[in-house]
Structures are given as C-alpha cells and as structure tokens.
C-alpha cells in the first residue's frame, strides 16, 4: 500500500477514536485517554484540505503548498472526467511544496484517411529544473489518456485524432503541490492541401516552380510529378515545400504544364498554359571604352543565345567575343553611329534584330577616312563600295530600295573648307528640286534621284570645331543614276595616243551637248573633270571608242551637285578648274554683303572641259604650275586666298582682289603647255585661254567638231 500524507493524518484520527473506545470499554487509563484526545485534535487541525467546486485557485506558479491551502480557501475546477488517483505515479515520501510547471508538444506521425496519429509529449519542471513528478493525469477532449515515461521529466502518449482543434488537460503533483495546465492541439485537414504551379520563360528554357502548402505552412510532399506537353520534368527541391525544374524549349507555341501529387491517400493536380513567342527577342546595346556590349533577351528579360547566330556591324560580318549567356562584345569601333544587326534562330524561328549605336568621340577632318562610311545604311540607302572622291564628296556604289545607285556623300576634306562646305550645302538645299528636274530632262546628264540635306545647328557647331562625328552619323548625300562603266579616269592611261585623241573628239560632242543643255538655261556645272565624265558600261575587250560610236556605251556628265546659276559664287573647284573659279571659291569666305563676289560663268565650264581634254590627250594636268623652278601647290594657294578674303573689309577689298587676280593670271601664264598644233590641240588651247573673253562658247566648240 502506498503511504501518503493524507493517509497518515487519517490514521491519527482512527487511532484517537480507538483509544477513547479502549478507555471506555476496557481500561480507564488517563494516559490512554490523553493520547486519544491529542490524536483526534491533531487529525482535525492538520487534515488535508478538501476541494470545493466553484472557486478558482490562484497561484503564481500554479502549485499550492499545504500552508497555502490553510491560508487560502481556494479550489480548482473539476476536470470534465473524474480524476482518478493516478494513471502514472511514483513512490515518494516528499512532504514539501514545489514550483511546478509543464509544457506540451505534439507531432503528427501519420495521417491515414480521416484520422492522424499524434505523438503528444509532456515535459515537467520542478522548481525550475526538468524532473519527474509524483503524479500526472492527462485528458484529451475529456477522455483520460494513458501516459508512459520517456526519460527524466518526460511523458508521452499516442492518440488518433480527427482534423480540428483538440483540448488537452494535464494535472501534475509533487509533494504537497500540484498544478493544472490546458493546451490546444490542432490537426490539419489534408484535404486543404494547396498544390500551386508557376512558370517563367528563361531564355530557351521554361522554369517550373511547384509548391505545396497546408494551412499557410509549406510542407514537403514527395510524390510530385510535373509534365510539359506530356514530357516529364526533372524536379529538384529548393526549399521546404518548394520544387523547381527546367524544360528545354524546342519550338514556339502554346505549352501545357501539369503537376500531380498524392498525399495521405488523396490525389491533387494543377495545370497552366504558357505562350512561347520566338519573335520576342530583344537586343540591347551599350558602349564600353569604344566597344559595343550586346545583350540578347526574351520579352521577360532573360538572356538567350541564338542558334547559328551571325552578327553584323555596318553590314560587315564580325566575330564577337561571348562574355556570358546572351552577352557579346565587339572589337573597338571608331566614333560615330554604327548599325548592329544579329541574325539566328530561336525556338526554330528565324530572328533578325537590328539597332543603331553611337560611340562618342571626335573625328577631325584630317583623320577622316571614307572607309568609315562603307557598309553604312542611310535610311533606305546602303553604301557598298567607294567609287571616287574629291572636293566635298565621296561617291559610293550603293543600293536604294534594292536598286543599284551611285551615292555622293557630302563631307569636307579640309578644315579650311568648313565654311565653304556649309555654303555649298545651303546652296544645294535651295536648288535640290530644280536640279532633280534638270537632270531628268537631259539625256546627257546623270539623273539625280533624290537629295538628303538635313544639316542641324549641332552638326554645324561640331563642324566648326573640327569634329565630323555628327556629319558622319547623318551626312548629306545625293542619290544618282549608277553608271556601271565608271569614270573616264579608269581608261585614259590604258589607251594609245590615237585612241585618246579619237576619244577626245567623241567627248567634245557628248559632253559638249550636255553642257549646252545647262548653259542654255543659265546653269554652270562648275565641276567638270575626268571623274565626272561617266560611262554606262565598261568596254571589256572591244574598243571603247567603237562602242561609244555604236551606241553600246553611253557617255554622260555626272554630279550636278556643284551646279550653280550663272554669275553665282562657285561652290567647289578642282585642279581642272579655271583660276578665276578658284578665286570665286576663295571669295566665298567674305561675309560683307556690300561687296560683289566673283561668280562663275559658262566660260569657266569651257576651261575645265578643255583642261580635261588636255589631260586625256597629253596625260598630264594642265594646271601644274612651276614658277622659277618652284612648283605651286594650288590647294594651298586657294586656302591662303580664302583667309585673305575672310579678313578683307570694305576699305582694302579692292587691293586684296587685285592682288589675288594678278596672282591668278601669273599662275595661268606659267602653266607648262605642250601641243602638236593639230586642230584638236588648237581647240583645246582656245578653251583653256587665260583670258575668259577669248574662250569659245559651247555652241562654237560643237560647230568645230565636224572639222576635227
């Protein structure tokens, strides 16, 4: 039998009663009576307090000592089920009071159908230390539960519970103290499991994220399967309750993504659709130290690589350096605007994306190279091959909406000619439509198809600062009929002396008639030279002269871009121009509106035409000047005069003008002229007479053609 303090006090009362009966019935002894009365009094005074329902016991540590029970007339509530003596007890003889506490934890070990097996664990605390208690009673939903000891101060039980909240009542006692605790155990309903699916396009892959949640908590489910259009996806766990997988894309279109799982005897599924569009390839470009960094992404911003990728800069194929997936770097590029184009395949579909990138910096006129323009696109016009250059322009073979054309890019070649270049552009802008119409109405002149003369203030400011970058990015240009045979320059040196003279006579007729059509309406071409006399095709092995006579090759006068009205200032000059025209160009630097500038006239075209014929017949430039054994640089002489006129004013203008004109006459008279005194040579020398008044008109030249 278990000895407890309660039973000891009851024993004192019993002993006292028996002693009194013994005194009365058997032996009347004072000692016996005294002992019996003291036992009864002790049992009455020091008896265990009885629980009285209806009052709540209050204790800071939820434990009550015997002295507390005497001083406080308090009770604790009765449990829903009767409190048995103990379903777990230990033999103790502890008669002291203690601070008692307990904690409850639980774990769902198995969920089977509508019930879950739950392991409930109670940890007891005696005076702040984990320790065993004398007695512990547990009720789950009012039903007493069996407990087993599982280590020092720990007691466990297993219960089968349905989903929902369950109340757990725990009563523990040790010595003269006991305490009561109430807990809640919540069992989740597995039918509320959430199986969610998220998809994200990442380059040429689709990322699939699947997560499982039960009542706002992520849980691991080990039977999840995913499919894209029926193809299984390999899933990897990335966090509790979260799986991730990737599916390689092979085509565009609508994809069906599905996910399934089995959990606690139930099947869950979800589904999503993804639209994959290969045309959503985006190319971004940035500049880093004169190199272009390209990034290819899909519409969601994820980097992609293209199959069979080719990259073009200004239509030239390049081999970029691959830095990372979808990121490429070009080699160092010159300042200016560059067109970038990337071709390839993505998801079985052809991709062709383009972008323009501008690299800042400065290109001085002395550093300019026309190859910087090669393969550039100017709107619908593409520059393919440099044909010729000179003055204010470079002529390229190109295409315009698929048609082969000649494109003259207008760019100054010397900083000293910037102001002249600006005047030239302004003049062209005024006369553009007129020149287009003029070229269309003359069979002997190369047809001008269109002008592009968009010059802004920023471009002009940069030009004056000797920076051609903006001009290179968006240069003014003329689109002209392409003469596939090229210019006269290509053939003159390969012809015999007789062929050259025969060709000169033919040119007088064809070019002379083209000039007549201009002079008759008051237009001066002002830029006649071998490179501007063009042939419709090359002669191959046959005679050039014969093919021209037979009409198989047409001869035309090209480049009306320098044409001006009679008496206006010349826009440009060449080594074939008259010295008067060179002075006219130099005088364009004068900004004084009260001074009449020297203009150009048909006689200046006659001089340039004669100078061209002289070069064809004699294979030497007429305007090569040698004074006292010193060769004169014509370009430097014009540039010097340009500065002289720019600084001239009304008071000294005539002095400067007379000095320059005298120098021009002296240069003209010191030309090294050779002639064989033939009728052709005599006509040519008349055309290049230093006195323009003695030069024949085009009409007179054409009349003399029949006698040559």
Q: Which of 446, 481, 516 is the last residue of a domain?
A: 481
Angle at 661 between CA 658 and CA 662, to 5 degrees: 85
CATH number of the domain within which 403 lies: 3.30.200.20
Mean per-residue pLDDT over the chain, rounded: 82
pLDDT tens digits, one per residue of 101-123: 999 999 988 876 678 899 999 99
Angle between helices 602-618 and 497-519 (to 10 degrees): 170
In this structure, what token pair is assigned to residue 460? 């002009």
> What is this structure's pTM?
0.55
405 and 500 part of one domain? no
162 and 297 part of one domain? no
Sign of the dihedral through C-alpha 127, 129, 131, 135:
positive
Distance CA 352, CA 475 (A): 26
556 and 612 part of one domain? yes
Q: What percent of the chain has pLDDT over 70?
A: 86
Task: Please enumerate, as own/partner, the contacts of 673-679 that have beta carbons within 8 Å and a separation of 24 or more.
Answer: 673/622, 674/618, 674/620, 678/501, 679/704, 679/707, 679/708
Distance CA 460, CA 365 (A): 13
641 and 565 part of one domain? yes
Report if residue 176 sits inside a domain.
yes
508 and 602 part of one domain? yes
Q: Average pLDDT of 505-528?
A: 93
**Which H helix or E strand runs over 546?**
helix 544-549
In this structure, what token pair is assigned to residue 187? 């069992």
Distance CA 451, CA 269 (A): 67
Indicate the pLDDT class of residue 513, thresholds 50, 70 and 90.
Answer: very high
Collapsed DSSP state (helix, strand, coil) of residue 482:
coil
182 and 209 part of one domain? no
Task: Please enumerate, as own/partner, the contacts of 663-671 that have beta carbons within 8 Å and a separation of 24 or more.
Answer: 663/637, 664/579, 664/580, 664/582, 664/583, 665/579, 665/690, 666/627, 667/579, 667/623, 667/625, 667/627, 667/632, 667/634, 667/637, 668/579, 670/625, 670/626, 670/627, 670/632, 671/622, 671/623, 671/624, 671/625
Count the neighbouring beta carbons within 10 Å of the beta carbon of residue 408. Answer: 25
CATH number of the domain within which 257 lies: 2.60.40.1930
Count of structural domains within the chain: 5
Distance CA 189, CA 705 (A): 112
- Picking from 17-21, 172-176, 178-182, which range would have the lowest pLDDT averaged per residue? 17-21
Report if residue 2 sits inside a domain.
no
547 and 655 part of one domain? yes
Distance CA 579, CA 573 (A): 9
Contact (Cβ atoms closer than 8 angstroms) between residue 577 and residue 604: yes
Q: Which of 187, 208, 231 is the last residue of a domain?
A: 187
Collapsed DSSP state (helix, strand, coil) of residue 502:
helix
**In the 3-class helix/strand/coil scheme, how is 248-298 assigned residue by residue?**
ECCCCEEEEEEEEEEECCEEEEEEEEEEECHHHCEEEEEEECCEEEEEEEC
475 and 492 part of one domain? no
Beta bridge partners of 263: 266
pLDDT tens digits, one per residue of 688-697: 999 999 999 9
E strand segments, 113-176 = 115-126, 129-130, 135-140, 143-145, 148-149, 154-161, 164-174
461 and 582 part of one domain? no
Range of the domain at 109: 102-187
Choose among 454, 378, 430, 704: nearest CA to 563: 430
Specify which of 66-70, 293-297, 457-461 reaches the highest per-range mean pLDDT: 293-297
The pLDDT assigned to 379 comes to: 82
673 and 569 part of one domain? yes
pLDDT tens digits, one per residue of 223-266: 899 999 999 999 999 999 999 999 988 877 889 999 999 887 78
The pLDDT assigned to 63 comes to: 37
243 and 222 part of one domain? yes
631 and 566 part of one domain? yes
pLDDT tens digits, one per residue of 137-168: 999 999 999 999 999 999 999 999 988 899 99
Beta bridge partners of 698: none
pLDDT tens digits, one per residue of 273-312: 988 876 678 888 888 877 888 888 877 777 888 888 888 8
Contact (Cβ atoms closer than 8 angstroms) between residue 508 and residue 708: yes
pLDDT of residue 213 exceeding 60, the answer is yes
CATH number of the domain within which 632 lies: 1.10.510.10
Collapsed DSSP state (helix, strand, coil) of residue 400:
strand
Q: Which of 249, 276, 303 is the last residue of a domain?
A: 276
């Amino acid at each position: 039998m278990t000895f407890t303090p309660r039973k000891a006090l009851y024993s004192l009362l019993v002993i006292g009663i028996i002693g009194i009966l013994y005194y009365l019935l058997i032996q009347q002894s004072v000692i016996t009576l005294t002992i019996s009365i003291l036992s009864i009094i002790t049992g009455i005074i020091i008896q265990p307090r009885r629980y009285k329902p209806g009052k709540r016991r209050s204790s800071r540590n939820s434990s009550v000592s015997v002295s507390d029970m005497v001083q406080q007339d308090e009770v604790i509530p009765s449990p829903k089920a009767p409190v048995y003596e103990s379903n777990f007890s230990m033999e103790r003889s502890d008669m002291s009071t203690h601070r008692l506490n307990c904690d409850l934890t639980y774990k769902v070990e198995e969920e089977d159908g509508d019930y879950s097996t739950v392991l409930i664990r109670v940890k007891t605390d005696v005076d702040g230390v984990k320790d065993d208690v004398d007695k512990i009673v547990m009720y789950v939903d009012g039903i007493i539960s069996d407990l087993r000891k599982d280590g020092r101060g720990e007691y466990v039980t297993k219960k089968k519970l349905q989903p929902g909240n369950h109340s757990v009542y725990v009563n523990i006692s040790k010595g003269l103290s006991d305490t009561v605790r109430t807990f809640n155990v919540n069992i989740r309903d597995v039918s509320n499991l959430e199986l969610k699916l998220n998809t994200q396009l990442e380059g040429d892959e689709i990322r699939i994220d699947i997560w499982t949640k039960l009542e706002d908590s992520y849980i691991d489910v080990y039977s999840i399967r995913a499919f894209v259009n029926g193809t299984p996806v390999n899933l990897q766990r990335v966090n509790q309750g979260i799986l991730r997988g990737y599916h390689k894309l092979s085509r565009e279109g609508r994809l069906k993504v599905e996910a399934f799982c089995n959990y606690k005897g139930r099947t869950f599924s979800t589904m999503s659709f993804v639209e994959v569009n290969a045309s959503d390839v985006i190319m971004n470009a940035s500049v880093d130290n004169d190199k272009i960094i390209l990034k290819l992404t899909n519409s969601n911003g994820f980097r992609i690589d293209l199959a069979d990728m080719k990259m073009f800069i200004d239509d030239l194929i390049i081999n970029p350096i691959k830095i990372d997936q979808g990121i490429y770097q070009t080699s160092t590029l010159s300042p200016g605007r560059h067109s970038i184009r990337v071709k390839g395949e993505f998801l079985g579909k052809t991709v062709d994306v383009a972008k323009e990138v501008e690299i800042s910096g400065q290109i001085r006129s002395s550093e300019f190279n026309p190859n910087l323009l090669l393969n550039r696109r100017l709107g619908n016009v593409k520059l393919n091959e440099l044909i010729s250059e000179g003055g204010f322009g470079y002529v390229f073979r190109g295409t315009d909406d698929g048609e082969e054309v000649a494109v003259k890019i207008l760019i100054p070649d010397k900083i000293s000619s910037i102001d002249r270049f600006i005047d030239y552009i302004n003049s062209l802008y005024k006369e553009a439509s007129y020149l287009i119409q003029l070229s269309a109405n003359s069979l002997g002149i190369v047809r001008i198809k269109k002008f592009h003369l968009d010059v802004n203030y920023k471009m002009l400011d940069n030009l004056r600062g000797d920076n051609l970058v903006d001009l290179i990015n968006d240069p003014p240009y003329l689109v002209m009929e392409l003469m596939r045979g090229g210019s006269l320059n290509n053939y003159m040196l390969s012809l015999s002396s007789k062929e050259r003279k025969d060709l000169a006579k033919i040119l007088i007729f064809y070019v002379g008639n083209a000039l007549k059509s201009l002079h008759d309406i008051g237009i001066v071409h002002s830029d006649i030279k071998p490179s501007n006399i063009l042939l419709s095709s090359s002669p191959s092995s046959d005679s050039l002269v014969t093919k021209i006579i037979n009409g198989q090759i047409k001869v035309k006068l090209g480049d009306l871009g320098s044409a001006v009205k009679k008496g206006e200032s010349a826009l440009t000059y060449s080594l074939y121009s008259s010295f008067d025209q060179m002075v006219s160009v130099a005088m364009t630097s004068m900004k004084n509106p009260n001074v009449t500038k020297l203009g150009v006239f048909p006689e200046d075209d006659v001089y340039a035409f004669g100078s061209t014929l002289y070069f064809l017949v004699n294979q030497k430039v007429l305007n090569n000047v040698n004074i006292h054994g010193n060769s004169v640089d014509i370009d430097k002489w014009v540039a010097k005069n340009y500065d002289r006129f720019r600084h001239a004013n009304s008071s000294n203008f005539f002095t400067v003008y007379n000095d320059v004109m005298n120098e021009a006459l002296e240069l003209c008279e010191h030309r090294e002229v050779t002639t064989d005194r033939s009728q052709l040579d005599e006509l040519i020398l008349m055309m290049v007479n230093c006195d323009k008044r003695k030069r024949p008109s085009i009409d007179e030249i054409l009349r003399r053609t029949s006698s040559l």
